[in-house]
Amino acid sequence: MSASEPAEGRQGQPLYTSAERARRDATKWTLVQGILAPIQFLAFAISLCLVVNYLLNGAGLAAATISVVVKTSLLYAIMITGAIWEKVVFGRYLFAPAFFWEDVVSMVVMFLHTAYVVMWLAGWGTPVEQMWVALAAYASYAVNALQFLLKFQAAKKTSADSEDDAPTILGARGVLDT
């Protein structure tokens, strides 16, 4: 694979070409993703507890609602900055071959989070129905986060044999890549 070809991210192939790795390491968007990802995960964990508490006990609707809106706002921030990161590193805003399936699932995540916000703002459905949509959004988010973690674990494994692939503290899209 030449340095100008995008990395496929398939098993046995490096996630980044040397040129993509250099762009990844040089852009501020890698750091932005590295900061936003754990903040978003913390918001997800707190919100998940609040949503489940509301569904189980019928109490705390306002806190659960605010937490889902905060989580959704962070998701939009990480998706917008992630698209910019992908453009800088791979030359396209979304669906670069190295992250194609992660981006596909990210679209499902965005759709479900947005559906919750639209339902809430429009007053569609009961609060319980809205919270079930939030849980579906959170389930898709968990799948997407797992995709990225598995991608970087595989990248770590394939890059361990390559001296050209020096470890970095922060990897693409805010997931640790060592």
Instruction: Tell me the pLDDT of the chain averaged across its residues.
Output: 86
Q: And the tokens for 97?
A: 């071959």
How far is Cα 64 from Cα 85, in angstroms, rounded to an integer? Answer: 31
Domain span at 133: 18-174
Give the model confidence (pLDDT) of 14-51 as tens digits. Answer: 788 999 999 999 999 999 999 999 999 999 999 999 99
Does 169 map to a domain?
Answer: yes
Judge residue 2's burial from the number of C-beta atoms within 10 Å of its C-beta, 0-12 exposed, 13-18 middle, 19 or more buried: exposed
Q: What is the pLDDT of residues 68-124, one digit of tens each?
A: 999 999 999 999 999 999 999 999 999 999 999 999 999 999 999 999 999 999 999
Tally the domains of the chain: 1
> Is there a domain that residue 73 lies in?
yes
CA distance 91 to 111: 24
The answer to the question of residue 162 being in a domain is: yes
